[in-house]
Amino acid sequence: MAQRKYPAEAFSAGQRQPAPGGYPPPPSAFPGNVAGFPSPVAAPSGFPSALGAPSGPAPISNVFAPVAAPLSSSPFPPPSSGPSSFPASPAFQPPPPSGSAFPSASNFPPVSGGFGQPPAPATVTPPVRTATFAPVSVPDLGDLNLDTPSPSSSSSFSPSALAPPSLSSAPPSASASAPVAARPMAPPPPTLEQLSNPQPAPSLSGPPPPSSFGPGPSSVASPVLSHNPAPSAFSSPYPMPSGAPVASYGAPIQGQGFGQQPPAPQIGSTPGRPFGTAAPGAAPGYQPNLSLPPNEAAQPPDAFLDVTLGRIPRSTELLEGSGMPLAVVVRPMHPSGVAQPVTHVLNSKVASHQIPVINPPSSQGIIRCRRCRSYINPFVSFTEAGRRWKCNLCYLLNDVPPDYYSVLSTDGLRHDHHQRLELNHGLVEFVAPADYIMRPPQAPIYVFVIDVSYTAQSTGMVKAAVEGIRSAIDHLAQNPRTLIAFLTVSDSVHFYNLRSSLAKPQMLVVPEVETMFSPLPHDLLVNLKSSRHLVDDLLSNIFPSLFFPDALNPAQDARSASETKSAFGPAIITAYEMAKNGGNVLLFHSDLPSLGSGALKPRAVNVAVQDKDTQFLLPVDEVYKNLALEANKRYVCFHQFFFSPKFLDVATLAELSHITGGHSFYYDVRSEAVQAPEQLQKDVKDLLTREQGFEAVIRIRCSSGISLTDFHGNFFVRNRDLLCTSTVDSQQAFTAQMKIEDPKEMVSPKNQASDGVHYVSIQVALLYTTFSGERRIRVITKALPVTQLLQDVFQHARIAPLIATLSKLAIKRALESSIPKARDALRDACIHALAKHQEAFVRSHDLRVPDSLQQLPLLVLALLKHSALRPDSETNVDLRVHALHFLRTLDGPSLVRLLSPSLFSLATLASHEGLPSSPEGPIVLPQALPLGSEHLDRQGVYLLDTGFELSILVGGAANPQLLQVLFDSSKGYPVLARCEHEYSHRVNNIVEFLSAQKEVAVPVVVYPEGQPGFYKKLQLFVLDRSKYLPSYNEFIRDVQRLVLEKCGKK
């Protein structure tokens, strides 16, 4: 369909604007009026009247202005009359419906800060590009003393200011740098005029990029590597499955052209030829004195480790000339990888989802650099006929152990290279030898602390928490060593004796919360397998009869609820004492702790000034922070669920999760009272069943010349590069900022490869205990080329880790200074990066954006409109604080999906949409719509996919027959249901297909127009103007003006 043209003068503030580039054009029809059903009927229960004006707060902008287009086929007829009924003529452009409750953007006051004053009538519409993410690698942990951690502060490093440096200094010229091989110049970025026509955006939820696990093809067919791994001093109670052995990495290699492995020659001898000379027939370009270029097939997947700059600048001046931070985003337990033994190592072929597990022989141990303690990896080089290997981080030459020796082939690779998993994969796991284990691996411990006050019962929190635990109890019982305990809290603390010899659980009440004690110190934490019948009885019978909403006393009124006192503080301290050997403590909050140790007083929060005053964002007391520091030393992790319409002081309690590496969940009961319990139940089950590692520490190492400066995430920094997170799981990500400390050390003959390029490496090592009780070391190593060309730096910038890093710097600024300063710093960071590119490569007065940064302005604006940073007085303080902590834990891909969700129309499906593309193929999705309200219709039904929730937005004039087919309202609120109608099957196919692609269980929530949650979802429409922030076109014009002013090109 031809694009609509808009005159330049139409882009003034308050007028309708076209969608920016990167979003696909709207589909051919959004009428919701279809033939096939007779006259309309009344809307189902739970929905507003099909023709009535919506109730509730006013929307963000001119929402649901109808768009006329050719009618598409759909089995549902339109209502015969109403504000959204109009002829479906392709040439007809109806005006907005009279009496609509959706004001136009012009009704809002102009935006301050220059956004409401549009400059030149030009817009830049960067095409949205699918971001891929590269994992990083660095650390090692064999030298850790896990029992005596050194005390340190979690803020060991003072981060650099988020505000960008001055733009006055010009970037260094290429001629000033050391000579390197000439590289072809990339075509210039598009101009504003060339970007005026939007291009369809590739789906962020499409098929994953090709895996980078597999090694290159092998020309030598070698037999399977035999192995007999020696048992560890603390062996796992779960032996490896028969027929799936782990790869032993010190066994002799047979069938290599010689009868048996020769003994390693003495260091200094030169068998065959002098060192430094190529063998006859050696591959052209192979130089024994230089390292081999990294094999791209050995690079780890970007989902595990990604870097903001895919080419490392050669100098500090070149890095500053890019205007972008150098940082690495690590998600070591990404769910796309499954660590499992490899049944064979022939040519080291491993599936893309498989992380190879290597069990080194006890006589040899794990091969590591003797100086920097890095692990052997695919990017080391072997020299002196294979007798020594050069570390790719500190460049030290290390001796090869005799059992690990192999001769070199003519191409510089070991003769057994393709049989060594650790030399072919940048992502591997080692089974930790006995010298890496300071104590026997601890059994998994789970302590549940549930608030059972009137508020918790009446809102459904207790029922949802118990149902979530019960749905995950089978998974926890898979390990026969799992230990479990329960506490419930009101104005006293209730303990439960679940000793296996009992016939029924015993409830023990301790009302003396000021001097808290454990009534049965040795019988409260029990083995789940032996006490399973008592646990089932407690969850299925006792808790429902005591604490579910049906058990409430009808005489207890709202006055008694407001006078509720909570002893949650003493209960938290007692739960820590029960799990002090290391484990998980799950806290379900519904009332502010007000009795005993850790009691908090309600703070008089002035929502009108919370945007400028940071005291509401910081802890009011150090008691929970000190408890978290002690818990971190003992590997105790706190996960928290905040579920209440009242103030809970999340800023103070969130320190428990932040320092111990746990998760925090917040449920806005005020606006989502119906959906919140269902979401809580799913979150509890997902947290307990996802892949987890216990007693976890992470170390990050970089090549010489690069150093780490700051860290972001939920953990505790024990020393310069060691992060302690009591529990690590598949949803945790960490960000580390880096700086170029010594350019001469980073670019030296020591790290120059035979292709003339210098390479730097990053290695991440995660030492953890698996759920089954085995100690593992996951090693992720990535090699990146060094460049002296500024154009290379811009061309290989990676938008996902870049926006993740900028968001964490903005959060740090908000907590240290104020939210308005964080917003200014985030906007300035975007302007600074674009100005550096404009200053270096563009001589005209048009703003040109490099391809790699096309999405940057859009994502920055979306981040400014997020509940963590947006300048409104309507967001409650607890929700804002939770949003700040939540953004701090996200990796790049998850943040991009959250800031730029996908929008689909469900009322106008084409004949092939919602059906498989082939008998075994994926479901065909509708075309994605731009995130602007001008592309919505009040007759429509829309699906919004944020990556964490599937939201169905129902317009107030939606067809009643369509609503009856899609939703079940028997519970008093609409729920997506599957019925016998063909259209219902297609819509459910789409929802189930999107749900299956998610890393966690996501809820499907229906928001009819008129509900508060409906209008909150509209705040995610980044193209629209909000009450305090501009539309995307206004924002990009303001960015253009400021960039040109900085470059002196007004």
How would you write 846-864 as a 3-class SS string?
CCCCCHHHCCHHHHHHHHH
- Residue 52 burial (10 A CB sphere; 0-12, 13-18, 19+): middle
pLDDT at 685 over 50: yes
Q: What is the DSSP letter of 751?
A: G
In this structure, the strands spanning 664-667 and 636-643 are parallel
The proportion of the chain whose per-residue pLDDT surpasses 70, expressed as a percent, equals 68
Say if residue 935's pLDDT is above 80. yes
Q: What is the pLDDT of residues 51-100, one digit of tens each?
A: 333 444 444 343 334 333 333 444 455 544 444 433 333 333 333 444 43
What whole-number distance in Å separates Cα of residue 325 and Cα of residue 316? 11
pLDDT above 60 (res 647): yes
What residue has token string 């937005």? 953
Q: Is the pLDDT of residue 886 over 90?
A: yes
Residue 272 has pLDDT above 50, yes or no: no
Query: What 3-state DSSP class applies to 1006?
Result: strand
**Cα–Cα distance, 712 to 814 (Å, whole number):** 14
> Using CA atoms, how far apart are residues 486 and 272, in angstroms rounded to an integer?
70
- β partners of residue 356: 340
The rounded distance, in Å, linking the Cα atoms of 116 and 197 is 24
CA distance 538 to 762: 49
At 341, the pLDDT band (50, 70, 90 cuts) reads: low
Cβ atoms of 34 and 74 within 8 Å: the answer is yes
Which amino acid type is present at position 137? S
Q: Is the pLDDT of residue 863 over 70?
A: yes
Q: Which residue has the higher pLDDT, 201 or 466?
A: 466
Residues forming a β-bridge with 786: 312
Residue 19: pLDDT over 50: no
Alpha-carbon distance of 178 to 314, in angstroms, equals: 9
- For residue 445, list its beta bridge partners: 483
**Encoded tokens for 818:** 């104020």
Residues 907 and 984: their CA atoms lie apart, in Å, by 11
- Mean pLDDT value across residues 962-990: 91
More confident position, 558 or 1031:
1031
Give first-to-last CA distance, the chain, whole Å: 37
- C-alpha–C-alpha distance, residues 623 and 919, integer Å: 59
SS3 label, residue 107: helix
Q: Work out the average pLDDT over 827-850.
A: 92
Do residues 974 and 968 make contact, with C-beta atoms less than 8 angstroms apart? yes
Consecutive H or E run containing 699? strand 692-702
Q: At what angle do helices 856-864 and 892-899 cross, to 10 degrees?
A: 70
Q: Is 636 left (phi over 0), alpha (psi -120 to 50) or beta?
A: beta
Contact present, 700 and 763 (Cβ < 8 Å): yes
pLDDT-derived band of residue 932, with 50, 70 and 90 as boundaries? Answer: very high
161's tokens: 């200011």
> Which of 70-79, 149-158, 371-380, 858-867 shows the lowest mean pLDDT across its residues?
149-158
What pLDDT is stored for residue 186 in this prediction? 41
Distance CA 740, CA 758 (A): 14
* Higher local confidence (pLDDT), 977 or 114: 977
Which residue's entry shows tokens 């506490």? 487
Q: What b/e readout covers 824-836, taking b as 16+ CB neighbours within 10 angstroms? A: bbbbbbbbbbbbb
Q: What's the pLDDT at 24?
A: 41
Angle between helices 461-476 and 676-689 (to 10 degrees): 20
- SS3 percent helix, strand, coil of the chain, rounded to 5, is 25, 15, 60
Mean pLDDT of the chain: 76
> Does position 317 have pLDDT exceeding 90, yes or no?
yes
In 3-state terms, what secondary structure has residue 463? Answer: helix
pLDDT of residue 503: 93
Give the rounded percent of residues in the chain with a pLDDT score beyond 90.
54
The string of DSSP codes covering 148-201 is SPPP--S--S-PPPSS---S-SPPPPGGGSPP----PPPPPPP-TTTTSS--PP
- Secondary structure (3-state) at 229: coil
Amino acid 1011: pLDDT = 86
179 pLDDT above the threshold of 50: no
CB 407 within 8 A of CB 241: no
Tell me if 936 sits within 8 A of 955, measured CB to CB.
yes
Question: What is the pLDDT, as a whole number, of residue 277?
Answer: 35
Mean pLDDT, residues 878-885 taken together: 93
Kindly state the DSSP code that residue 325 receives in the 8-state scheme.
-
DSSP β-bridge partners for residue 737 = 327, 710
Residue 432 has pLDDT above 60, yes or no: yes
**Residue whose structure tokens are 């739960």:** 575
With H, G, I as helix, E, B as strand and everything else as coil, classify residue 449.
Answer: strand
Q: Check pLDDT > 90 for residue 45.
A: no
Asked whether the beta carbons of 466 and 544 are under 8 A apart, the reply is yes
Asked whether residue 606 carries a pLDDT value surpassing 70, the answer given is no
Residue with tokens 């149902």: 467
Q: Could you tell me which of 87, 366, 341 has the C-alpha nearest to residue 225?
A: 341
Neighbours of 530 (CB within 10 A): 13
Average of per-residue pLDDT across 276-305: 67
Q: Name the residue type at position 534.
A: L
Say yes or no to pLDDT of 834 above 50: yes
Torsion of CA 160, 163, 167, 170, to 10 degrees: 30
DSSP letter, residue 97: P
User: Residue range 197-205: average pLDDT?
Assistant: 39
Q: Rounded to whole angstroms, what are the CA distances from 932 to 1004, 1026, 1032?
A: 22, 11, 10
CA dist., res. 124 & res. 74, Å (int): 36
Confidence of residue 521 (pLDDT cuts 50, 70, 90): confident
Question: For residue 197, is pLDDT > 60?
Answer: no
Give dist(CA 508, CA 497) in Å, integer: 7
pTM exceeds 0.85, yes or no: no
CA-nearest of 435, 405, 436, 434 to 420 is 405
Which comes out higher in pLDDT, residue 85 or 1045?
A: 1045
Q: Which of 219-223, 339-343, 612-616, 783-787 has the highest mean pLDDT?
A: 783-787
Q: State how far the Cα of 342 lies from the Cα of 240, in Å rounded to an integer.
A: 11
**How sure is the predictor about 8, in pLDDT bands with cuts at 50, 70 and 90?**
very low
Residue 138 has pLDDT above 80, yes or no: no
What integer pLDDT is reported at residue 283 of this predicted model? 41
**C-alpha–C-alpha distance, residues 760 and 751, integer Å:** 7
Q: Please give the Cα distance from 34 to 959 (Å, whole number).
A: 9
What is the H or E stretch that residue 1037 is in? helix 1032-1046
DSSP assignments along 962-990, one per residue: HHHHHEE-TTSS-EE---SSHHHHHHHHH
H or E element: which one contains 334?
A: none
Residues 6+ apart with CB under 8 A from 169: 320, 321
- 991 Cβ contact partners less than 8 Å away, ≥ 6 residues apart: 943, 950, 976, 1004
* pLDDT range class, residue 577, cuts 50, 70, 90: very high
Say what the pLDDT of residue 371 is.
95
Mode of pairing for the β-strands spanning 950-954 and 1004-1008: parallel
Comparing 211 with 296, the larger pLDDT belongs to 296
Element (H, E) at 45: none
Which residues, other chains included, contact 1027 with Cβ-Cβ below 8 Å and sequence gap of 6+? 60, 108, 872
Which residues lie below 8 Å from residue 805, measured CB to CB, with a gap of 6+? Answer: 308, 325, 327, 329, 712, 735, 737
What sign has the CA pseudo-torsion 642, 648, 649, 653? negative
Angle at 482 between CA 478 and CA 487, to 5 degrees: 125
- pLDDT at residue 280, rounded to an integer: 39
